[in-house]
Each structure stands twice: as structure tokens, then as C-alpha cells.
């Protein structure tokens, strides 16, 4: 049966890798959210441009 110190060493050696993976996952999630926000912003700009075109066409009539 392994000693407690051996188990601690083994467990601690995994922690930095897990933390690095968690950081990468969080970074990826934030990047995805930024991309979605940018896409949403582009969509809003297109909607606003469409409304402006409608106003112009109504004003021209």
C-alpha cells in the first residue's frame, strides 16, 4: 500500500496541468463570447442600416 506522502506527490503533480487546462478552457470560452458579441454587434449594425434604408425610401415617396 502506498504511503500518504506518495499519494500527495502524485495528486499534486496533476494539479498544475489541471489548472492549465482550466485556464485554457476559460480563455476559449471568453474568446467564444467575444466572437458572439461581435457577431451580435454586426447584426445590429445591419438591422440599423436596414431601418435607415426604409426611412429613406419612405421619405423619397
Q: What are 15-52's pLDDT values in tens digits?
A: 677 788 889 999 999 999 998 888 888 888 888 888 88
Distance CA(16)–CA(24), nearest Å, equals 12
Closest Cα to residue 36, out of 44, 26, 48, 47? 44
Q: CA 53, 55, 57: angle at the middle one, nearest 5?
A: 70
What does pTM read for this prediction? 0.45
Q: Supply the pLDDT for residue 11.
A: 62
Amino acid at each position: 500500500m502506498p504511503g500518504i506522502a506518495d499519494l500527495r506527490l502524485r495528486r499534486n503533480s496533476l494539479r498544475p496541468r489541471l489548472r492549465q487546462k482550466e485556464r485554457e478552457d476559460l480563455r476559449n470560452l471568453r474568446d467564444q463570447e467575444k466572437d458572439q458579441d461581435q457577431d451580435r454587434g454586426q447584426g445590429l449594425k445591419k438591422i440599423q442600416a436596414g431601418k435607415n434604408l426604409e426611412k429613406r425610401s419612405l421619405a423619397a415617396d
